Amino acid sequence: MSWLTKIGTIDRRIIYGLVLLAVAIPLLFKMILPIRVSEPVMMCFNAIDRLPQNSVVMISIDYDAASEPELQPMLVAVLRHCFAKDLKVILLGHWALGLPLGEIALNQVAREYKKVYGEDYVNLGYRPGYVAQMVGLGREIRDFFAVDYKGIPIDSFPFMRSVHNYNDIDILFGLEAGATGDAWVQYAGARFNQKMFFGATGVVAPDYFPYLQAKQIEGIIAGLQGAAEYETLVKQAGSAILGMPAQSVVHGLILLFIIIGNIGYLLTRKKK
């Protein structure tokens, strides 16, 4: 059996092992690669950066633990940007399992910036029926979120008293792992002209780029690379910047496998 034939029959567990090593080694050695900020991420950064103090940012947690590695670093980076700019943050979510992740990030970053719950940020939690909610938020937020996630009336929070509908929300940031972002664009964006930008997993990001091209969203942070770019912009390295070298090494490895596999396939086919 020639080495070319052997390549074609290589045990896939060896490939899994190599991929695991390609991920673990760059993490262990804390490799850092330069991050070039792309235009869609820069547009998101600028959308937040040009907001005046005390503007209201609504963050929608539309993901769960399965997308945490990609979307959680984005959430943390955007929250850092918001709190550094003294913006007010309203967190809510349409994926019930993702809300605890939102709460973890919100509390962590709020502590870093010494922000006070109810004065600088609130967590409205989860309510079912996202389409009805998105349409209803155009009228009155209290129809769906009269109380926060702990059951405290939102009118007891000073900055929430002046928030009633999309007119009072300066920008919406949706963290998307599915199709909830489509609904944000089609209901909040198209009907109420709500400005928004998305952080999306790599799987769904290609579905959201047409919205960016059509100027229906302000920007898009796509995948772990996008998260690393935003971390670069807020000048605080997190798990995305640390993860990107591993990502690059694995991509190189996959390309190598594809090339070797194809050479092996072409040569063995020639022999036949």
Partner 1 sequence: MIGNIIGTWIAATLTIAILSFLYRDNPLYKLAEHLYVGVSAGFWVIYTWSFDVKPMLIDRFIQATGVEKWVLVIPAILGIIMLSRWIPKYGWISRIPISFTVGIGAGLGITASIQGFILPQIQATLLPLTTINNIIIVIGFITTIFYFYFSREHKGFLKVGSRVGIIFIMVAFGASFGYTVMARISLLIGRVYFLLHDWLHILR
Q: Which residues contact partner 1 (rule: CB under 8 A)?
A: 13, 16, 19-20, 23-24, 27-28, 30, 66, 68-70, 96-97, 126-128, 131, 135, 182-183, 185-187, 189-191, 201-203, 205-206, 210, 213-216, 222-225, 239, 242-243, 246-247, 250-251, 254
Closer Cβ to partner 1, 8 or 69, answer by number: 69
What are residue 247's phi and psi, to 5 degrees?
-60, -45
Alpha-carbon distance 230 to 237, whole Å? 9
CB of 158 to partner 1, least distance (A): 26
CB of 233 to partner 1, least distance (A): 19
Tokens of 13: 């567990």
Alpha-carbon distance 74 to 227, whole Å? 5
CB of 249 to partner 1, least distance (A): 10
CB of 264 to partner 1, least distance (A): 21
170 Cβ neighbours under 8 A, 6+ residues apart = 51, 55, 56, 57, 87, 195
Closer Cβ to partner 1, 32 or 254, answer by number: 254
Closer Cβ to partner 1, 65 or 266, answer by number: 65
Closer Cβ to partner 1, 43 or 242, answer by number: 242
Long-range interactions of 126-135: CB distance < 8 A, separation 24+:
126/92, 126/93, 126/94, 126/95, 126/96, 126/99, 127/92, 130/94, 130/180, 130/183, 131/183, 131/187, 133/94, 134/183, 134/184, 134/187, 134/188, 135/187, 135/191
Closer Cβ to partner 1, 9 or 213, answer by number: 213
Tokens 């909040």 sit on residue: 188
CB of 166 to partner 1, least distance (A): 14
Long-range interactions of 1-9: CB distance < 8 A, separation 24+:
4/263, 4/264, 4/267, 4/268, 5/264, 5/268, 7/260, 7/261, 7/264, 8/261, 8/264, 8/265, 8/268
Closer Cβ to partner 1, 186 or 236, answer by number: 186
CB of 191 to partner 1, least distance (A): 7
Angstrom distances, CA of residue 104 to CA of 99, 149, 221:
9, 14, 21
CB of 37 to partner 1, least distance (A): 17
Closer Cβ to partner 1, 70 or 218, answer by number: 70
Closer Cβ to partner 1, 59 or 200, answer by number: 200
CB of 217 to partner 1, least distance (A): 11
